[in-house]
Structures are given as C-alpha cells and as structure tokens.
Copies of this chain bind each other. A is one copy, B any other.
Amino acid sequence: MGLRERTRRTVQKEIAEAAQRLFVERGYEATTIDDVAAEVGMSPRSVFRYFATKEDIVVGKLGFVAEEMLQALRDRPADEPVWESLRRIFDLLVPHVDAPGKREVADPMQRIVFTTPALLASYLEKLHVMGDAAETAIRDRAQAAGKPYSDDDPTPRALVAGAFGCLLAAQKAWLAGGAKQSFAEAIDQAMATIGPR
C-alpha cells in the first residue's frame, strides 16, 4: 500500500471519528454532511471524496473487514466443515464490534445502526454482498477438494445465510443484554442453536 493510500485512510478515519461523535451527540439524521465537514474543517464536497454516501461513514469500515474475512475464509483448510470455517472468520469481526477500550463511542453507534432504518439497511446490504463472496469462496474450495456442489445446489448459500443470520442475532443479543457475556460467546451460542443437517 503506497503512501497515498495510507494518508487517504488517515483522513477517512478522521472524518469517521468526528462524524460518529456528532451522530452520537445529535443523532444521525439530525446531523448533516455540512456539519461533519465543518467539524473536520473541510468542504462538504471533499467529505464525499472520502465516502460515497453518508451511511458509508458509519458502515464503510465493514468493507475492509469483509475483505480480511474473505481472505481468511480462503485460507482455511479445504476439508474443514463450512460451519466451523464461518465461525472462525467471524473472529476477525469481533474486535470491531466488541471494541476493546473504546466502547464509549462504538457501543452507542451500533445502537444507532440498529435503530436507524437507512443505516440498518446499508449494514444488511453490505453483509449480504459479503455473503455472496463467501458463497463463491466456499464453492471454489469444495471444487478444489474434489467434491463440488452442483450449480443449483442452494447449500452453500443457505449455510452462509444461516451463519450470517446467527452473527446478526448474536450482535443484537449482545447489544441488548448488557455486558454479561463477550460478543464471541454470543456468536458461539447463536451458532450452536442451528447448523448444517
């Protein structure tokens, strides 16, 4: 990654942090892009050069994490049960949700995501797209392992959708239930209630 890309990410992070502070303070919808731009001291136009949409300021980071998770999925042993592989790559998401130290902002921000239709929609859509990629990865590795799924077999997609559903269930349960357990434990618990047949 070149220097350009690095400074770009720095600015992105700065915008995101300032914006999320405002979102938590005043509410997501009540905060305009102009407010955010003023807070970081740049023009509104430039904010959109770092984030395609207002929602992206909040959920954009997920795109990067998704990349890591997909790579991790491809790196898993080809003969590992799919359900187990998915559980393992979710570990990469954990520190971003159950953020060590900075729960102060991350926690209320997540609540905002789940209570703001536009943000929730955006979040779900990102997860869905990641799910598509995960399905492909799973089909590829089954192919490589010599036991390919037939093209019209919905199994890989159903497994991914089920696992992601559990992930979401775990996140909501974890957010609702105070800090009685870690997010990782919540995922374990959710993914134990259903699974491949």
A positions within 8 Å CB-CB of B: 117, 120-122, 124-125, 128, 151-152, 154-155, 157-162, 164-166, 168-170, 172-173, 176-177, 180-181, 186, 189-197
Contacts and interface: CB of A to CB of B under 8 A. Distances in A.
B173 A166 contact: no
A194 B173 CA distance: 21
10 contacts: A117-B125, A120-B125, A124-B124, A124-B125, A124-B128, A154-B186, A158-B190, A159-B193, A161-B162, A194-B195
Nearest to A161: B165
A14 to B, nearest CB: 26
A66 to B, nearest CB: 15
A27 to B, nearest CB: 19
Given A121-B122, A154-B173, A169-B154, A194 B196 contact: yes
A186 B161 CA distance: 15
B159 A194 contact: yes
A165 B192 CA distance: 16
B180 A154 contact: no
Contacts of A160: 165, 169
B124 A162 contact: no
Nearest to A188: B154
Contacts of A117: 125
Contacts of A165: 158, 160-162, 164-165
Nearest to A170: B154
Contacts of A155: 190, 193
Contacts of A120: 125, 128
